[in-house]
Structure 1
Amino acid sequence: MVREKLTDFTIQKEAIISSLLIKRGNGLFNQGLHDIFNRASSSKNRLKIEDVQVIIEAIELKQREAEIIFYTYFGSEYDKNIIVNNTLIGSKFIEAEFYYDTRVLKKTIEIIDPNMYREVVNINFQLFILNIASLYENLVKLIELLIKKRVVFGDRNPHLSVHLRVLIAYWDNLVELDYRKNDEFYIWLTSHRTYLDQYLSQINSLRNSFIHGYSLNLNIDSISNEYVVKNYDNSTTGFPQPAGGGVISDLVLNTFVDSVVNNTKNLTEDVLNLFQSKLSHHRTKVPM
């Protein structure tokens, strides 16, 4: 039986929205700095102060969905032996209860066929990756709304689809050129750099494969008897092949999903706490 509390960013969200409304009333929110990069776009595509609440709600919804997928299929209930051995004696029951605030979700799943179990694991891994990739794009939208622009594409609307790794590359260049300072937000980025450098390219590669390709991106490693993430490029990711070969432990399926869901929660919570703290100061102007 799984019983887990889900992520809730209500406190940060309400504090951020309240501070922004105060700043708009005091003339400390400059919409023009956003509009200047959106001249070729219709007004409906322009990011506005009102979008902040919707973006944060989208982020926390996707974080909760990632947690539900993880705890249901890849946490303590995950059974690699069913997949590796293609056998299932009796039924595989998964009972889960999730809650936050006063909300409760209960799930009961019964699987009686090993092939179906593998299929359920495969499809939920795909949903997990697409959900996380979308969360990161929403995080970029929030950063680009509250902090002065880093990603500029001329006449194109820079907010439609910007990957987090693209934002990071621009941000690094601006700090290196001394156009932006090594401020609290860049320190936040640096504090999560080990995870981001290791996982972002892999997540993006998986996302593209799921959307544009047909591979399951998972495979049984016959030597280790593990179900592992495949289709990685050790020249561009932080998952180099171990000396002498063998399975890459970080790419074992349940370990990979565990690392992604927890690191994503930590980096998102940290930046929301930082926004809450910075915006609460009466002198802070937006975008920062």
Structure 2
Amino acid sequence: MVREVLTDYSIQKNSIISSLIIKQGNGLFDQNLHDIFNRGSQSKDKLRIQDVQIIIEAIELKLREAEIIYHTYFGTEYDKNIIIFNRLIGTKLIDTEFNYGTRVIKKTIEIIDSHMYKEVVDMKFQLFILRIATLYENLVKLIEILIKKRVVFGNRNPHLSVHLKVLISYWDNLVELDYRKNDEFYLWLSSHRTYLEQYLSQINSLRNSYIHGYSLNLTVDSTFNEYVINNYDSSSTGGFPVPSGGGMVSELVLNNFVQDVLNNTKLLTESVLNLFQRKLAHHRTKVPM
């Protein structure tokens, strides 16, 4: 039986929105710094401070869905042997109960076929990757609204779809050139850099493969009896250290990978929302910061 409390950012969200409303009333939000990056003052894609609540709620929704996927199909309920040995004795029964606030979600899943179990795991991993990848894009959009611009693409609106990896690259350059300070927001980024350098390219590669390709990106490693991610470019910047002698990269074992991504995503998301909450609560903070 799985019982888990899902992520709820209501406290941070309500505090951030309240602070922004006060700043709008006090003339501490400069919409012009956003408007100059749009193709026209009437652009339907204009960055608006009113969008902040919607963006945070979208981040919450995607993170809760990623949590449900992990705890239902991975974590303690994951059985790699059904996939590796293509054998299921009896029934795989998964009972779950998730809650946040006063909301409760209960579900029972019954699987009686090993092929179907593998198919469900493959499908849920794909959905997990897509949710995490779009969550990161939503984080970028939130950062681009509340902090002064870093990503500029000429006549193209910079906030339509910007990957976190692109934001990091621009941000690093601006700090190196002294156009931005090594402030608390950059320290937030730096504190999660090890994870981002190792996992972000891998997540983007999987996302692109699932959207534009047809590969499952997963395979059985019969040498180590593990179900692993096989879409991996060891030559990319960062990434995971490959063991000498061609051993297995433990971070690419399916359940390890999903757990690491979920845990680190929760950490970096909550920490930046807490930072926004604290900074915006200060009466002299101007937006964008």
TM-score range, shorter chain: over 0.9
Distance in 1 (alpha carbons) for counterparts of 2:41 and 2:73: 42
TM-score scaled by length of structure 1: 0.99
CA contact (8 A) 1:175 1:181 kept: yes
Counterpart in the other structure of 1:173: 173
Q: Which residue of 1 aligns with 2:271?
A: 270
The one-letter code sitting in structure 2 at the alignment partner of 1:12 is Q
Aligned residue for 2:76, secondary structure, equals coil
Amino acid at match of 1:204: N
Summarize the alignment of residues 139-158 of structure 1 with structure 2, pairs less than 5 Å apart. Answer: 139-158=139-158
Deviation by residue 1:53-74 (Cα, 9 ceiling, x = unmatched): 0000000100000000000001
2:117 aligned with 1:117: yes
Q: Percent identity?
A: 76
Structure 2 Cα separation of the partners of residues 100 and 119 of structure 1: 29
The Cα shift of 1:40 comes to: 4.5
More moved, 175-184 vs 34-43:
34-43
Paired with 1:267 and 1:130, the residues of 2 have a C-alpha distance of 18
For 1:42 and 1:158, the matched residues in 2 are separated by: 16
Q: Does the alignment pair 1:286 with 2:248? A: no
- Higher alpha-carbon deviation: 35-44 or 107-116: 35-44
Alignment-derived partner of residue 229 in structure 2: 229
SS at match of 1:44: coil
What secondary structure sits across from 2:246 in the alignment?
A: coil
Tell me the secondary structure at the aligned position of residue 157 of structure 1: coil
- Residue 255 of structure 2 corresponds to which residue in structure 1? 254
Query: Cα RMSD over matched residues?
Result: 0.8
Is 1:22 the counterpart of 2:29 in the alignment? no
1:240 Cα deviation after fit: 3.0
Confirm or deny: 8 A CA contact 2:35 2:41 kept in the other structure. no
Aligned to 1:199, the other structure's residue is in SS state helix
Distance 1:41 1:158, change over 3 A: farther
The aligned counterpart of 1:184 is 184
Partner of 2:77, secondary structure, is coil
Cα distance in 2, alignment partners of residues 280 and 129 from structure 1:
34
Separation in structure 2 between the aligned mates of residue 137 and residue 273 of structure 1, nearest angstrom = 19
Tell me the alpha carbon deviations over residues 79-119 of structure 1, each in whole angstroms, 9 at most, x when there is no partner: 00000000000000011100010000011000000000000
The residue type paired with residue 283 of structure 2 is: H
Partner of 1:12: 12
Q: Find the residue that maps to 1:214 and give its secondary structure.
A: coil
TM-score by length of 2: 0.98
Q: 1:88 to 1:218 in 2, by over 3 A?
A: same
CA distance in structure 1 between the aligned counterparts of 2:21 and 2:42, rounded to whole angstroms: 24
Alignment length (residue pairs): 288
Which ranges of structure 1 fall in alignment gaps of 5 or more residues? none
SS of structure 1 residue aligned to 2:220: strand
Shift in Å, 1:39: 2.6
Task: Determine helix, strand or coil for the equivalent of 1:30.
Answer: coil
CA–CA distance in 2 between the matches of 1:246 and 1:116? 30
Cα distance in 1 for partners of 2:175, 2:223 equals 45
Counterpart Cα distance in 2 of 1:42 and 1:184: 34
